[in-house]
Amino acid sequence: MKKGLDVSSHNENVNWDAVKNAGYGDFAIIRLGIGNDALTQDDSKFERNVQECERLGIPYGVYIYSYALNTGDAMSEANHTLRQLKKVGPGFKYGVWFDMEDADNYKRNHGMPSNSTLVDICYTFCETVENAGYYTGIYASLSWLNNEIRSPRLDRFDKWVAQWNNTGCTYKGVYSIWQYTSDCMIGGARFDANELHRDFATGETPAPQPAPSVQKLHLPADAKTWRVYPLNVAPVKGNECGLLKPSKFGGLTYDIIGFSQPDVAIIQTRDFGTCQIYIGPGTGATIS
């Protein structure tokens, strides 16, 4: 099993020779910055870490710690990432990772986005970076992956799972990297350590699949109201987050993002964000 570290300016000047000698030089994931596209938010050790990995032949990927509260912020973070990627060399083989968490309570202190908005943020970043020609995925804790950002929209992007234990990763989805500890000691310094479970740098993991052709959901003009539900609840009466009003607009049409269960579609709405909607037999809903 290949092992490697993820590093940032918090690790100061990493002794990469010691890292390689300790058996953690199979790969590295290097932080390039935090937040939006401002020079002050570049990671101060990014270029040094890139140069050291190039010197020692350690293949690497990069990540950005997200402060995004909306999709506009996510676009700025994607631009930040693309600007910094101009500094990488031939050792850059392990993709671009979007670090979605709230370890420093920034999101919570600035109004934590809804789960549907968090999903939109992840999708916006990954799609933008992917369209620029880079392999991309999402880093998050097991809890965030299973709860805050669980959505079929994100299934096509790779995952890097943080679950600190010595027994194994229990994430049920597809993932390539497992961060199994934050307490790896090398030469008196503490690091996050990771195992590689699918080596996409050597072709073991296929490129992300393109988004499928979009199906359209049509809600008929004679429907006065239609319940929609958050992604993290059962789509039953009492759990709704709002009501659509097809009759007010002569009917409504939405792109279908996916299905959370048979006859329950996932759509993006203006007023309620990404949500579930029941469209089973007898409702009058049609798909084209």
The domain limits of the chain are 2-202, 215-287
Residue 53's closest CA among 38, 35, 31?
A: 31
pLDDT of residue 127: 92
Residue 141's closest CA among 122, 126, 160, 125?
A: 160
pLDDT of residue 209: 47
Q: Poorest-confidence range of 218-222, 237-241, 261-265?
A: 261-265
Question: What's the pLDDT tens digit per position in 4-54?
Answer: 999 999 999 999 999 999 999 999 999 999 999 998 999 999 999 999 999
Residue 86, pLDDT above cutoff 80: yes
Q: Which fold has domain 215-287?
A: SH3 type barrels. (2.30.30)
Given a contact cutoff of 8 angstroms between Cβ atoms, the answer to whether 80 and 66 are in contact is no
pLDDT of residue 273: 86
pLDDT of residue 211: 46
The arithmetic mean of pLDDT across residues 140-145, rounded, is 94
Given a contact cutoff of 8 angstroms between Cβ atoms, the answer to whether 251 and 219 are in contact is yes
The arithmetic mean of pLDDT across residues 196-206, rounded, is 77
d(CA 115, CA 94): 28
d(CA 107, CA 16): 33
Is the whole-model pTM more than 0.75? no
List the structure tokens of 139.
Answer: 């880093």
pLDDT of residue 90: 95
Q: Poorest-confidence range of 68-77, 180-189, 224-233?
A: 224-233
Using 50, 70 and 90 to split pLDDT, how confident is the model at 259? confident
pLDDT of residue 199: 87
Architecture of domain 2-202: Alpha-Beta Barrel (3.20)
The three-point CA angle 142-15-138 to 5° equals 25
pLDDT of residue 234: 84
